[in-house]
């Protein structure tokens, strides 16, 4: 799948601007950014639910907008399944079987049995966790190559969340599929994803392999005799400060910055484990409302 120059304007507001990246099968891609960054709009446009203002989405060179049958290779799972709450399990099964020609019914029943999901007359009777599992079971049964998920673990209890994460990782390993996950749960993305796309103000701020990102930055704790010098504050991202103790993110491969810190003769200079959440703060500039 290739996203080329994708832009979307809604009611005169630019939601997405010139988005470019590609996705190979057999990978898990995390899409993150602050509230209103355009993550859900991006996923909806990638599946053809929304038409782009500019740009294109292609699979194996075919546009999903010019060749609609290509959409059979993509499925979008929203963060809410309320639209189908009055339909029975079997009615939804019939619907997806008619839409996706490669739908694997035997596989569907196998997963329903594995997770002990009952067949109901109205899926609105499912708990939130059951709805999430059912949506994933349907998605993986379609035979789609690209599965786009919007906040798949939001509001789930720990046990169901582990089941959801388990099925995601297992299916990517077992099948030639890719999963694109929009999520504010950075700890889960760090566990699952091969690559992270950070969206800021409707644009791709950065796109890196997880390990590549960690090679670019390091997290350190610094303690000074007095306050951190002003010239140094301009060169690092301060994650936390308690008195003269600072936790910062800095460029791992900048010898000048390293020398600048050493010249201040800190009382403590200790490297700490770097988390995806730390990189999020450094790149996007804040921890509040990070969904």
pLDDT (tens digit per residue) in 189-198: 888 888 999 9
Convert the pLDDT of each residue in 240-260 to its tens digit.
Answer: 999 999 999 999 989 999 999
CATH code of the domain made up of 213-289: 3.30.70
Helix (H, G, I), strand (E, B) or coil at 26: coil
Q: Is the pLDDT of residue 288 over 50?
A: no
Name the packing angle between helices 128-141 and 89-99 (round to 10°).
Answer: 30
Which residue shows structure tokens 């999903």?
Answer: 64
Domain borders along the chain are 2-201, 213-289
Higher-pLDDT residue of 184, 64: 64
CATH 3.40.50.300 fits 2-201, yes or no: yes
Q: What average pLDDT is seen over the chain?
A: 89
245-251, strands of its sheet edge to edge? 237-242, 245-251, 217-223, 268-272
CB 181 within 8 A of CB 29: yes
Across-strand partners of 268? 223
Question: pTM value?
Answer: 0.81
**Helices 158-174 & 128-141 angle (0-180, nearest 10):** 10
Whole-Å CA distances, 48 to 66, 106, 161: 10, 28, 28
């Amino acid at each position: 799948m290739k996203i080329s120059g994708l832009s979307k304007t809604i009611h005169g507001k630019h939601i997405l601007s010139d988005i470019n990246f590609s996705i190979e099968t057999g990978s898990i891609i995390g899409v993150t950014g602050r509230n209103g960054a355009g993550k859900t709009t991006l996923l909806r446009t990638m599946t053809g639910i929304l038409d782009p203002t500019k740009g294109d989405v292609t699979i194996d060179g075919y546009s999903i907008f010019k060749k609609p049958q290509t959409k059979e290779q993509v499925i979008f799972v929203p963060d809410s399944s309320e639209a189908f709450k009055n339909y029975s399990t079997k009615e939804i099964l019939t619907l997806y079987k008619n839409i996706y020609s490669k739908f694997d019914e035997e596989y569907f029943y196998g997963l329903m049995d594995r997770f002990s999901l009952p067949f109901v007359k109205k899926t609105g009777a499912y708990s939130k966790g059951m709805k999430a599992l059912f949506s994933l079971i349907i998605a993986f049964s379609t035979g789609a190559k690209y599965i786009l998920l919007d906040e798949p673990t939001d509001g789930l209890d720990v046990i169901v969340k582990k089941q959801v994460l388990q099925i995601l990782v297992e299916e990517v390993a077992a099948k030639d599929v890719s999963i694109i996950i929009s999520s504010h749960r950075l700890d889960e993305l760090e566990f699952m994803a091969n690559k992270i796309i950070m969206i800021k103000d409707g644009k791709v701020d950065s796109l890196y392999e997880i390990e590549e990102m960690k090679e670019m930055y390091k997290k350190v704790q610094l303690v000074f005799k007095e306050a951190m010098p002003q010239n140094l504050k301009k060169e690092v991202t301060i994650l936390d400060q308690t008195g003269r103790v600072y936790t910062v993110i800095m460029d791992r491969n900048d010898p000048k910055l390293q020398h600048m810190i050493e010249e201040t003769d800190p009382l403590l200079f200790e490297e700490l484990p770097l988390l995806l959440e730390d990189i999020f703060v450094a790149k996007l500039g804040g921890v509040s409302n990070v969904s």
